[in-house]
Amino acid sequence: MAEKIVAEGIEASLGGRLLSVRPLAGGCIGEVYRAELSDGSAVVAKVDRAGTSHLEREAYMLRYLREESGLPVPEVYHSSEKLLLMQFMEGESSFCDRAERHAAELLAGLHNITTGSYGHERDTLIGNLDQPNPPTESWTEFFREHRLLYMARTAHRAGRLPSADLKRVERLAERLDGLIEEPERPSLIHGDAWSGNVLAKGEKITAFLDPAIYYADPEMELAFISLFNSFGDTFLRGYEEIRGIRPGFFEMRRDLYNLYPLLVHVYFFGGGYLSSTQNILRRFGC
């Protein structure tokens, strides 16, 4: 069934003929395949037979990054609710020091793309979960309402976050004005830069995959990278040299901002991610 969907999409959008498909490692959006074409080329195909993974929104985010930034992302050839065809990007999720430095340069450049409000022109995704992005002038308000509380309530409705922990998140949300500050400008972020979503070949980063874009405090990106050890100290030093990191990030805001991706992972996986969430809440007296 998946092969038929891929073959029909390739013929309609690229005018090519499918030779074979083989599974690739992927995230939580759809089934992921490498499709070999009769002309010797290859494309990546994401298939969602149920039509619930919002592949059109993933295509939108990739196109936005290609048009608005210098971040290397796959070109989208075709998109629908059931099929996404895109450029096959060479590389592996393994990074030498020079590749980490290149990642710092690329993300610092991405974060230099700014706009007038937090959020985005439309809602985006993280995994296959909605990311609401109503344009908001205050970063504290946006983070509190549309990231921290939104995701805590989503995880609670799914039965993943206990009621007692939801109340603790709500108490922390009431105190955010005294814990975080307004950045200079809203910055465009990739939003899901764990190592599996980044490819490198030798000393160069070749691709950032599976974005979860919106305009945010760029420290959201740094916190996420630190949480999942996407890159090491070479990346952080390089980024700080290029763009700077405000005082208080490592001491306080990193943990606060990581509540959002932790709650996303509580929703999907539960387990140790709930314990990590509870540890941060305890740290802040909640």
Following DSSP, what letter does each residue of the chain receive, concatenated?
-HHHHHHHHHHHHH---EEEEEE----SSSEEEEEEETTS-EEEEEE-TTS-S-HHHHHHHHHHHHHH-----PPEEEE-SSEEEEE----BS---HHHHHHHHHHHHHHHT-B-SSBB-SS-EEETTEEE----BS-HHHHHIIIIIHHHHHHHHHTT-S-HHHHHHHHHHHHTGGGT----SS-EEE-S---GGGEEEETTEEEEE-S---EEE-THHHHHHHHHTTSS-HHHHHHHHHHH---TTIIIIIHHHHHHHHHHHHHHHH-THHHHHHHHHHHHTT-
204 forms beta bridges with 201
CA dist., res. 4 & res. 22, Å (int): 13
CA dist., res. 155 & res. 149, Å (int): 10
Told to judge if 192 belongs to the known catalytic residues of this protein, a careful annotator would answer: yes
CA dist., res. 250 & res. 54, Å (int): 34
Given 165, 192, 210, 255, the catalytic residue:
192
* Measured CA angle at 268 (ends 264, 274), to 5 deg: 65
Residues marked active site are found at 192
